[in-house]
Structure 1
Amino acid sequence: MSALGLFKIKKEERWMALAVLFIAVAFNALVIYSHYSVYTMGAHGGFWTIFLENFRLSGYDCWSWITISGMRIHFETVRHPLYLSILYPFYLLNHWMIEQLGTNFAVFFMAVVLVVSTVYSAVFMYRIMREVVGLKPFDARLLTFLLFSFAHVMLPMMAPDHFIISLMLLLMTLYIAGRKMKERKPMGTWQTFGLMFFTAGISASNGVKVLLASLFANGRRFFRWKNLLVGILLPLGILVGIQQAQYYAFEVPQKEVAHKIERANLKKNAKKFKARLAERKAWLDAHTGRAAFDSRVGKWMDVSTSRTETLKENFFGESFQLHQNYLLKDVSWDRPIFVPYNWTANYIIEGLIVLLFLLSSLIACRERFFAMLLAWFAFDVTLHIIMGFGINEVYIMTAGWAFIVPIALGYTMRALAYGPRRVMRILLVALTLWLWIYNGGQIAMYLLG
């Protein structure tokens, strides 16, 4: 499977891709329109204030806008070693355009990345349904649109963060691995190299999922020296090298400048500066669980936040349906960790999704491809629910695992007889329409309001 063939949109995929393109463009246009005059200011050195004071979308970061605008790095390059390399060419072009036109085009450049990633995420999801699960075109499209109706799969389409890029690469990995399993062929070493380099490069934790995909697709061949050295270790080594080069070239000098600014602010208005820091710390302490250890890694892990409430309101709640109160607020600034729904209907819908997922998983678990998906899901549950990594806003991780739900439903659709399948299809159409109208409406009202 050549790279050109992989990204060529087939005839039966075109109308669906066009519909997804229209939706993604519309959502990104709403985000830009919401603060157009502010977002496009060609400021020099004030991009942090411009974006941070005006962008608030449920915990997603706008660091990419700031990086493209002024080459300030505020995300963890250790966790996203390739992300800066993707943004850097946009920064160079945008920097030149700001000087020539006095307008900041960062939001437009990032919107292009988000829209392209969204379209190809939908294309790869559709191909998984058609070529791996084996569904008819209508059912494959229906379940693809079901995936994108989930609240925190819909939001990454427009949030200037890495999540939709990660979704595209994970679905591409699933599609390639699934095809290989179907054809009973191993994944090539250089294919594994490419998937590991790009997928883990966008988010380091994704490397575990590529490793599992290679293991399930290749079986014993996975342990061959060539696959381990060239397919797994070589791309990880290159990513470490890229991250270190970026760190010393950009981050170290930036930190020195930032410390000078902090010292200047402290000297200029020490009382106000300390008061703001104390206020910020008080909020985080009150809205953050207890860390597992007093170390850099340990502080990412939460041992006190309620797991049952997390599963009900956030992991299976907010991930699929937005809460009406504190709509799209950020837990780091102005949202409680747990927010109940106002309507009982939301809990009924949540229960229906979870029930369908569990029943469908029992049907699908015999499939090797779905067993691989369950291993991916087990990794996410271990990382976020058991270890507590990012548990306070676990819903923003939805794009990394939620595709297992429609894929499980796809196996159920395939297994059902004609009559029950029609009933299931009607139920899923109703569910998909509800989620699109409910979540899409909430997001539109928030951005326009």
Structure 2
Amino acid sequence: MNKSIRFKISDFKFLSKALLPQKKEEKLLFLILLLIYLSYSIYIALSTSVIDNMSYETDIYFSYDNPLILKLGRTQISGHPLLMLFYYPFVLIGNGLAYLVTFKAKTLLFVLLSSSMISMSSVYIFRYLREIIEIKRSVAYLITLFFAFFSTNLLLSFTPESFTLSAIFLAFNVYYNSSYIKKQKSPPFLSNIVLADFILGGITLTNVAKGIVPVLFFKEKKISILKKVVLLGVIFLAILSIVQVISIVFLSKNFFESIFIHRESFTNSALGGSSLFQMVFTHFFGSPIFFPPMMNYTAYNSTMQYIIEGNYSYWWQYTFVTLILATIVASLVKNYKSPFLQMIFLLFLIDIIIHCVMKFGINQPFIYGAHWVYCIPLLIGWLYDKLKEKQAKAFVVFLICMFVGLIINNLYHLTDFINMAQSLYPTE
């Protein structure tokens, strides 16, 4: 019994240790990315009210609900049942800072938190590339930095949101489970419960499936895997039932009913004004990686002005996104037998089904990029690993060219966003 307890404790020591940067190269990467993100995030926080505008609690830019997070530590409970558990302690600390110093001190706390989480998500990507795929350090740095400058990461680095939490824990989820699968072991089931049911599912309802997917690849008997999948589902339903009771007693709101209302409000307005191709290719797949032009519009019967993404304007923007898509397809074709790649594909497929097939949230698909963009650098890494020496060198040159194009485009449009935010939402 004692040995079993010690084994479990050692496993959870590994889990908690794995959440932090480990080697010097990871600590250096984290620090560099944190400084990069903070360099403009702090400027945005101090020169605009786009992050913390309390006049409009939701949808100021790209349909994010960041002011609501700063105020209450949660957004719609229907889609994010346990989100408040993660953010509310920081809301209380922020309220103390706002009382003792200034309200902007609270904003800066959340900016630091967001930048740290997005920086750590890149660290997990780097660790996966080095430990799971085992590619050389220089290429791992290149792929990780390429990922770090995706438009989703540039925005979430100053945006307290459920998507920011999802970004870090989804990246950790795929690394953590893959590290055990590589050793042909299974992680302690309690860690799967914590990751799938409490963290991923608690932050965003649909992401519970992404905590369950890795279980399908454990080196166990099929009946054992089936039992774990069923048990994870039952435990999650139990958690939702508890949330239902709390929601009715304290919020006078039917949690389960609100889920369906929330789903309809996202689905019925799908495809407004744009073709399905534009919504899927540009806004679902392209814009979370490669910024399109930005625009603002005034809400109907309101003075509120939203900042949203537009369609791509030039052929080279479509070419960039097409090349990324071609790279992903090539990786899938070359590695289709790999259980690691099959896992990544299933994780990505969940979002494709939810948003492109079921059309849930297809009217604003950009924000869901945080739920899948971590798959892109992993697929790139697996493709590089399969290439022969000369092909690999040519592929690195290709990645460098793509990286330069990504930085130029995304930093240009990030500057455009800052200028728009200063104009529409100056600091209060």
Q: TM-score range by the shorter chain?
A: 0.7 to 0.9
- CA 1:312/1:226 → structure 2, altered by over 3 Å: closer, same or farther? closer
CA positional deviation for 1:443 = 0.8
Select the residue among 364, 368, 383 that pairs with 2:339.
368
Q: In structure 1, what is the Cα distance between the partners aligned to 2:318 and 2:28?
A: 34
1:314 aligns with 2:320: no
CA positional deviation for 1:221 = 5.7
1:24 aligns with 2:46: no
Letter in 2 for 1:17: F
Q: Which runs of 5+ in 1 are unaligned?
A: 41-46, 254-293
- Alignment match, 2:210: 209
1:388 aligns with 2:394: no
1:359 aligns with 2:330: yes
Whether the 8 Å contact between 2:95 and 2:106 is mirrored in structure 1 is no
- Alignment match, 2:295: 326
Q: In structure 1, what is the Cα distance between the partners aligned to 2:91 and 2:309?
A: 37
1:22-171 equivalence runs, <5 A: 22-35=35-48, 48-49=54-55, 56-67=60-71, 71=72, 75-101=75-101, 103=103, 105-171=105-171
SS of 1:48's equivalent in the other structure is coil
Q: In structure 1, what is the Cα distance between the partners aligned to 2:32 and 2:386?
A: 29
Letter in 1 for 2:64: Y
Q: In structure 1, what is the Cα distance between the partners aligned to 2:73 and 2:138?
A: 45
Return the TM-score normalized by structure 2: 0.82
Give aligned-pair identity as a percent.
20
Q: In structure 2, what is the Cα distance between the partners aligned to 1:331 and 1:155?
A: 22
CA positional deviation for 1:430 = 1.5
Q: In structure 1, what is the Cα distance between the partners aligned to 2:201 and 2:367?
A: 18
Letter in 2 for 1:350: V
Whether the 8 Å contact between 2:215 and 2:225 is mirrored in structure 1 is no
Deviates more, 1:136-145 or 1:306-315: 306-315
1:247-396 equivalence runs, <5 A: 248-249=249-250, 251-252=251-252, 296-302=262-268, 305=271, 306-326=275-295, 339-396=310-367
SS of 2:64's equivalent in the other structure is coil
CA positional deviation for 1:421 = 0.9
Whether the 8 Å contact between 1:27 and 1:157 is mirrored in structure 2 is no
Q: In structure 2, what is the Cα distance between the partners aligned to 1:85 and 1:371?
A: 32
- CA 1:64/1:86 → structure 2, altered by over 3 Å: closer, same or farther? farther
Q: Which runs of 5+ in 2 are unaligned?
A: 1-10, 254-259, 423-428
Whether the 8 Å contact between 1:187 and 1:218 is mirrored in structure 2 is no
CA positional deviation for 1:371 = 0.5
Q: In structure 1, what is the Cα distance between the partners aligned to 2:183 and 2:32?
A: 31
Q: In structure 1, what is the Cα distance between the partners aligned to 2:25 and 2:124?
A: 13
SS of 2:293's equivalent in the other structure is coil
Q: In structure 2, what is the Cα distance between the partners aligned to 1:348 and 1:313?
A: 11
Letter in 1 for 2:26: E
SS of 2:159's equivalent in the other structure is coil
Deviates more, 1:86-95 or 1:354-363: 86-95
Q: CA offsets per residue over residues 329-385 of structure 1, 9 Å max, x none?
A: 799976799843222211111111111111121112211011011111211111001
Q: CA offsets per residue over residues 58-88 of structure 1, 9 Å max, x none?
A: 2222244442xxx386x21131122112222
Return the TM-score normalized by structure 1: 0.78
SS of 1:57's equivalent in the other structure is coil
- CA 1:106/1:186 → structure 2, altered by over 3 Å: closer, same or farther? same
